Amino acid sequence: MPARGRASSPLKRPRPTARGWTLGGIGVVALVASVILGRTDVLFVGVFLTVLPLAAMISVTIDRPRLTVARAFHPDVVGVGEQATIVTTVRNESPRPSPSAGWRESAPPAVGVQPPAPFPRLGAHQVDGGLGRDTVVLRQDVVPDRRGAHSVGPLVVSRADPFGIAYAEYAVGQPRLLLVTPQVRPLARGVLDVAHSEGTEHELLRHSIPSADELIAREYRPGDPLRRVHWRATARHDQLMVRQEEQRSNPEAWMLMDTRPAPARPPGLDDVADDEFETVVDLVASIGVHLLDEGFAVSVVETGDRQLTGRSGAGRTGTLGATTATYDVSTADRMLLADLAAVEPAAVQRDDAVVELGAGLRRAGRAVPVFVVLTGAPPAELGALAALRSMGDPAVAFVAASQPAETAEVLADAGWLCVTYVAGDDPAACWQRALQQHRAGVLSGGD
């Protein structure tokens, strides 16, 4: 639904412009001069110039805009670096035409709205409700450069008196959130998204229809076609058996996302920590969408307070009865990106994240793809995380270069494929390095 609003509140209360201050100053000088020189005509000029800015401010206050605003985004959800259009429909509610003014959208710098521009003159309010001369549609294209739920609005209307002596800004309408999702890079298909626990090619991954049908036997029922008779099962059970189609479940993949509070950094390095966390989010987004496109049901465990929700009812029960955010429906990629748009470094660190990951892997019943993205301080349960290697196929850890070297060493010694990244790294480049390291490991193992 478009955001609507009629509220008009001053952002900058009426005040004199540079011209108004100049006239007021001249008026004060004239008043002083009239007293010294005893000139009545100079006194009249002084009073007039002194009162003029005050009268202009009263005029701007009384003649404040009476507008309704409806705001919409196309598309509603946009990725970092992608273009969106903000459509703002403004209607004059006053019985008089609107005065000359300027306008701009109030929004964070990350959204990139256009600078102030002249506001079109609107006709008097029309009661028919159509798009007449009392209505204008303002459009602007923006390219957000940072993810998040950014508040766009209210509309800021700047109003000056006809002589340019006084000036005020009014906020009109209500803000609306523009959801900006993380940047998603296409990742190459390969051995990193194929589980080998049921053969060299995981049978469930490459079906043209992810929920392919599997054949099992059941007892014959009147009306079943004879072409579906399962003769081997009939001989085994000594009764007529037929093949029954049963839907396969999607294969699973698990991810561990490091959202724990960032460690204290020297002054001036806070931006580096922020960029490193943004790289974590981009990696999780790109890998998660890639896995979903390959037909996986993706579960994401956070090392900090739970922020991801996943599909309602789809979460897997974790420790202490909590649920792991799981994405496994046709629109799961949009759900994942929408959740990641608002994720931030957590205020509190969890101590059971690795336990939750291990419990989920054990319930899978076989080795499944596992991807870990670590930043900041190494997990307190680093040894426990390393021990989960046998449950992952493949098991890949993306480790921030700012972490101690022993973090990657402990995981690599346990058999994890460890890839180092730095703040600002492209997820596709990190994924490609992982593929290259995997191929290099296979070749060296063959030697």
Q: For 74-123, give the DSSP string.
A: ESSEEETT--EEEEEEEEE-SSSPPPPEEEEE---TTT-PPPPEEEPP--
Please calculate the CA angle 395-307-421 and round it to the nearest 5 degrees: 40
Distance CA 195, CA 203 (A): 9
pTM over the 0.85 mark = no
Q: Where are the alpha helices (DSSP H) in 176-304?
A: 231-237, 270-293
3-state secondary structure of 307: coil
Amino acid at 403: Q
Residue 426 burial (C-beta neighbours within 10 Å; 0-12, 13-18, 19+): middle
How would you write the pLDDT of the chain (447 residues) with one tens digit per residue? 555 555 556 667 888 888 989 998 998 998 888 888 888 888 888 888 989 989 888 888 887 788 889 999 999 889 888 999 999 999 988 888 888 888 999 899 989 898 989 988 888 888 776 677 888 899 999 999 889 889 998 999 988 888 888 888 888 888 999 999 998 898 988 777 654 444 333 444 444 334 333 346 677 776 666 667 777 777 777 788 776 544 445 688 999 999 887 655 555 544 556 888 899 999 999 999 999 888 888 999 998 888 888 875 445 544 444 578 888 867 788 889 999 998 888 888 888 888 889 988 888 888 889 999 998 666 778 888 999 999 988 899 999 888 888 888 889 999 999 999 998 899 999 999 988 888 876 556 544
3-state secondary structure of 349: strand
